Structure 1
């Protein structure tokens, strides 16, 4: 990516999400967009848009997504610059067994199947607080 590009993140919604779930995603999304690139992105304000199946740039609805109001929530933000990712990692301190347990707890907390890399980003951000609650 380069300065001026749009970073994008999207999630399928089923129409059964609570306000708290949507607020959590709105909080997590900028973090995920910035931290899934190296070097880490510095982003402008995040804009959210609801897209419906069949609209431009909307992929087919995955088979596991079903609900009364299926739609795609898309977040975009302009890339303003870059910053170095910190070298220290909470994840690197975890045993494989603890990482598996934290990923499972993260998926349960978010009420849906998340890929390992997204779980890892959330775990890295929450760090020792999450480990203290889940592992003890």
Structure 2
């Protein structure tokens, strides 16, 4: 994604959801959109719309979705920019060669291609623990 693009997040509903459930989905959207696209996205204000099966840009309804009022709830937000990795982070302390190797290993461990930003997030979370374990083994 790049600045100016629209990030989207959508969910099928079947008409049996409570208003509380729908409010919670709207409240969680900003976080979920950033995580679904790129953990370092800065998003603009969210807008919501309801789309019905058969409308423009609405995919076919999944077979398991059935109910009295099937519709697609869509949240969109403009990409305003990207956060940078903080200077004190584990990832920022790695040289380019080591970071490249860790990204490759992360993709292999996940069994799929992941964007660099997602790999960096996983490395940031797991790297210090793994480095500590290696240091501990080296001492014994």
| TM-score relative to the length of structure 2 | 0.58
Correspondence for 1:28: 28
Q: In the superposition, relative to structure 1, how do residues 85 and 38 fare at CA in structure 2: closer, same or farther (>3 Å)?
A: farther
Distance (whole Å) between structure 2 residues aligned to residue 26 and residue 38 of structure 1: 19
Residues 1-136 of structure 1 mapped to structure 2, 5 A cutoff = 1-38=1-38, 40-84=40-84
Q: CA deviation at 1:40?
A: 1.4
User: For structure 1, which segment, 52-61 or 35-44, has the greater mean C-alpha deviation from structure 2 after superposition?
Assistant: 35-44
Which structure 2 segments of 5+ residues have no match?
91-140
Rg bigger for which structure?
Answer: 2
Asked whether the equivalents of residues 39 and 85 of structure 1 are also in contact (C-alpha less than 8 Å), the reply is no
Q: Deviations over 1:36-92 (max 9, x none)?
A: 33351100100000000000100000011010000000000000011146868xxxx
Asked whether the equivalents of residues 7 and 37 of structure 2 are also in contact (C-alpha less than 8 Å), the reply is no
- Stretches of 4+ moved more than 4 A in 1? 85-88
SS at match of 2:38: coil
Distance (whole Å) between structure 2 residues aligned to residue 85 and residue 26 of structure 1: 27
| TM-score relative to the length of structure 1 | 0.60
Distance (whole Å) between structure 2 residues aligned to residue 4 and residue 24 of structure 1: 27
Asked whether the equivalents of residues 46 and 75 of structure 2 are also in contact (C-alpha less than 8 Å), the reply is yes
Aligned residue pairs total: 88
Distance (whole Å) between structure 1 residues aligned to residue 18 and residue 27 of structure 2: 14
Distance (whole Å) between structure 1 residues aligned to residue 52 and residue 85 of structure 2: 35
Distance (whole Å) between structure 2 residues aligned to residue 65 and residue 20 of structure 1: 20
**What RMSD over aligned residues (CA atoms) do the two structures have, in Å?**
1.8
